[in-house]
């Protein structure tokens, strides 16, 4: 049962071991396999695009020579018009086809863009929970997104380069034949200048890659601030704490830092850009001087002059295009590898295969469990021993930061224990099929989230649960049990009312208490054998809290229930209370037993709260 998280650390070093060619081939095969799987017809359009791009230049290389030869030779008007008409018509057809292909490819590219974004979202939702709290995994997710967007252009960027490379190779082959027979010296000079421009471009790409990582981190930070600024849910905090200026200042600072980084990158690249322009001017100058000299000396015809200058420029362009696009594809591959790495991001948890036998009662045991969060040296829990079984209702109590939520995360296997083990019916929970194990729990966390969907959809998040299609009647019953009946009745669309305003102008903003009740209804609907409420009633008033616990206790009577509450009101409904303090369980027993412990934490907390409630 090894921890696969380590394999992620090795990803980057594995990538740097790939040669540029391997990197390109790996990226092309990965993405085109995905693309073929998603839209096979895309490849037909790519082939058409390659052929068209490769053949089109020859219309303007070979045919104008016929015009010039006609003008300087027989000067037959009919033949001249025919040649011009053929050139114009062929160009028109080629350009029209190119437009159609560009449009069609554009549509497919948009689809691919969405496809890969959805893949990233899916991966983010399916990856082990602990990665969602791990900065390195979050950074990788962010790099995957940015790597697929503005730096690489996604599959559209890849296809652009790929089509250009193949079509340029085809064009180049034809042009080499024309040049090698017409002017081998010119061929040599062009080769040298292309080589120099390639080196310049390589340097430019290195600078791009160097700056990419720094910009990703900045972008993520800026995105976070920007999101908070534009998300109305932060509106209250921003107004009441007067934090708009602070947010804007932070946004400005990030903006400035990003601009400075872009500036630094441009300044570094500027000399290379200038050098590239200079070399290309030299190349063009030589071509015209040399071929002009040959024409004046009548060593070539004017038609040949025209054909060779066009060939020279096409040769340089095609070779340049091949090399530039290979370098581009290499650069894009580097960025797009971030996506591949994210998609291959290993699981942190060992996923067992053992089926969970349906049992009348489940027994969970914590045996000498200690835990520290990944990348943290501090133990949050030490030597925790506990047994929960049958239909026991356990209350978990302790001061802030005592490790109560962490205890729940371990029980639900969102994290694996660092030492010791947790057993379910005598078997280490790691050995069970992970998805099946997850089905045992219905949890409402402190930081539960509702979605900008309807109330009904928020209660039934298990869309793929074919055995169980929730009816409106069931939803209404659950809402009634959770004290939402009046609220639902007051809404025109009832349970179909949309929460928040992202998708629907008429969406409602539930109060803290209402939101918690919806989250609790969701947990009840899951109908799992273990129900956990992690400080779920913090936003409820004492009467609503009492009602919820009362209903809850009735509803989850035959199940294991774990309540974490600061108010200790949940304790009254529970068979046992576990007090977390000093990284472990320091007191365990019934309400009456714990009250009798001299100087006990529970007795102290209870006395402190009684002052306010009695």
Interaction site with ligand ADP (CB under 6 A): 133, 373, 376, 380, 398, 400-406
Token pair for residue 217?
């981190």
Q: How far is residue 561's CA from residue 553's CA, in Å, rounded to a whole number? A: 8
The CB-of-548 to ligand ADP minimum distance in angstroms stands at 20
Query: Considering only CA atoms, which of 56, 62, 116, 67 is closest in space to residue 91?
Result: 56
Q: Which is nearer to ligand ADP, 447 or 492 (CB)?
A: 447
CB of 444 to ligand ADP, least distance (A): 14
| Shortest Å, Cβ 564 to ligand ADP | 7
Q: Smaller CB distance to ligand ADP: residue 406 or 460?
A: 406
CB of 408 to ligand ADP, least distance (A): 8
133/480 with CB nearer ligand ADP = 133
CB 105, min distance to ligand ADP, A: 44
* Two tokens, residue 158: 């890849």
Q: Please identify which residue in the block is written with the tokens 């790409």.
A: 205
Tokens at 10, concatenated: 């090795």
- Of 393 and 404, the one with the shorter C-beta distance to ligand ADP is 404
CA dihedral 177, 179, 185, 188 (to 10 degrees): -70
Cα Rg of the chain (Å, integer): 34
Buried b (16+ CB within 10 A) or exposed e, 185-198: ebbebbeebbebbb
Which of 102, 375 has the CB closer to ligand ADP? Answer: 375
C-beta closer to ligand ADP: residue 408 or 528: 408
What the block records as the tokens of 590 is 């019934």
Angle formed at CA 332 by CA 328 and CA 337, multiple of 5 degrees: 150
Least distance to ligand ADP from the beta carbon of 129, Å? Answer: 10
CA-wise closest residue to 568 among 512, 531, 532, 607: 607
Structure-token match 């990703």, residue found: 216
Minimum CB–partner distance for residue 462 and ligand ADP (Å): 26
Minimum separation from the CB atom of position 490 to ligand ADP (A): 34
Here the tokens at position 368 are 């000498």
CA 250-251-256 angle, to 5 degrees, is 100
Rounded to a whole number of angstroms, the minimum distance from the CB of residue 403 to ligand ADP is 4
**Helix orientation angle between 77-126 and 41-72, rounded to the nearest 10 degrees:** 160
Q: Sign of torsion, CA 591 597 602 608?
A: positive
Of 46, 60, 48, 326, the C-alpha closest to 174 is: 60
Task: Kindly tell me which of 404 and 430 has the beta carbon lying closer to ligand ADP.
Answer: 404
- Compare residues 140 and 405 and give the one whose CB is closer to ligand ADP: 405
Length of the chain: 614
Q: Which is nearer to ligand ADP, 329 or 384 (CB)?
A: 384
CB of 409 to ligand ADP, least distance (A): 7
How far apart, in whole angstroms, are the C-alpha atoms of residue 389 and residue 424? 9
Q: What is the C-alpha separation between 210 and 219, in angstroms, rounded?
A: 15
Q: Please answer whether residues 31 and 24 qualify as being in contact, where contact means their C-beta atoms are separated by less than 8 angstroms.
A: no
Encoded tokens for 598: 């001299």
Nearer to ligand ADP, 23 or 601 (CB): 601
């Amino acid at each position: 049962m090894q921890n696969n998280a380590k394999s992620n650390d090795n990803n980057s070093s594995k990538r740097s071991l790939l040669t540029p060619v391997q990197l390109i081939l790996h990226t092309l095969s990965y993405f085109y396999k995905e693309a073929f799987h998603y839209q096979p017809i895309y490849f037909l359009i790519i082939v058409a695009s390659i052929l068209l791009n490769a053949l089109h230049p020859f219309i303007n290389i070979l045919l104008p020579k016929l015009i010039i030869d006609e003008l300087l030779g027989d000067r037959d008007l009919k033949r001249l018009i025919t040649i011009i008409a053929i050139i114009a018509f062929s160009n028109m057809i080629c350009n029209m086809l190119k437009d159609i292909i560009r449009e069609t490819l554009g549509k497919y590219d948009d689809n691919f863009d969405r496809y890969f974004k959805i893949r990233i979202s899916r991966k983010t939702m399916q990856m082990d929970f602990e990665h969602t709290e791990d900065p390195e995994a979050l950074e990788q997710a962010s790099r995957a997104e940015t790597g697929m967007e503005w730096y690489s252009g996604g599959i559209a960027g890849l296809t652009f380069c790929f089509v250009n490379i193949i079509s340029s190779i085809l064009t180049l082959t034809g042009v080499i034949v024309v040049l090698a027979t017409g002017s081998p010296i010119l061929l040599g000079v062009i080769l040298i200048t292309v080589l120099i421009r390639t080196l310049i471009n390589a340097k430019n790409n290195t600078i791009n890659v160097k700056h990419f990582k720094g910009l990703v981190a900045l972008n993520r930070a800026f995105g976070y601030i920007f999101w908070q600024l534009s998300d109305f849910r932060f509106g209250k905090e921003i107004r009441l704490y007067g934090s708009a200026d602070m947010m804007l200042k932070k946004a400005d600072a990030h903006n400035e830092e990003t601009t400075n980084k872009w500036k630094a990158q441009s300044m570094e690249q500027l000399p290379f850009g200038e050098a590239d322009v200079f070399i290309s001017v030299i190349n063009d100058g030589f071509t015209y001087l040399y071929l002009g000299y040959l024409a004046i000396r009548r060593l070539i015809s004017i038609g040949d002059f025209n054909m060779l200058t066009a060939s020279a420029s096409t040769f340089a362009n095609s070779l340049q295009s091949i090399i530039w696009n290979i370098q581009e594809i290499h650069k894009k591959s580097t960025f797009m590898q971030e996506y591949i790495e994210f998609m291959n991001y290993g699981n942190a948890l060992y996923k067992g295969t053992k089926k969970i036998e349906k049992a009348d009662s489940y027994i969970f045991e914590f045996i000498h469990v200690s835990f520290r969060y990944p990348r943290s040296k501090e133990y949050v829990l030490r030597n925790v021993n506990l047994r929960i079984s049958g239909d026991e209702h356990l209350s978990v109590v302790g001061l802030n930061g005592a490790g109560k939520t962490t205890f729940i995360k371990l029980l639900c296997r969102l994290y694996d224990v660092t030492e010791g083990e947790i057993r379910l019916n005598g078997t280490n929970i790691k050995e069970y099929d992970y998805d099946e194990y997850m089905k045992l729990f219905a949890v409402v966390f402190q930081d539960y989230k509702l979605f900008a969907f309807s109330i009904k959809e928020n209660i039934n998040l298990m869309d793929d649960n074919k055995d169980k299609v929730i009816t409106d009647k069931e939803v209404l019953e659950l809402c009634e049990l959770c004290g939402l009946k009046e609220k639902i009745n007051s809404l025109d669309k009832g349970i179909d009312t949309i929460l928040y305003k992202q998708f629907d102008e008429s969406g409602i903003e539930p109060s803290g208490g209402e939101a918690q009740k919806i989250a609790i209804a969701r947990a009840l609907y899951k109908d799992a054998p273990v129900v956990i409420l992690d400080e779920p009633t913090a936003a409820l008033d004492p009467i609503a809290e009492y009602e919820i616990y009362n209903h809850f206790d009735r509803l989850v009577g035959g199940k294991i229930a774990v309540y974490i509450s600061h108010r200790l009101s949940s304790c009254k409904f529970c068979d046992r209370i576990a007090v977390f303090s000093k990284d472990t369980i320091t007191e365990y027993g019934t309400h009456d037993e714990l009250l009798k412990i001299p100087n006990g934490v529970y007795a102290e907390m209870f006395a402190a709260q009684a002052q306010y409630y009695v």
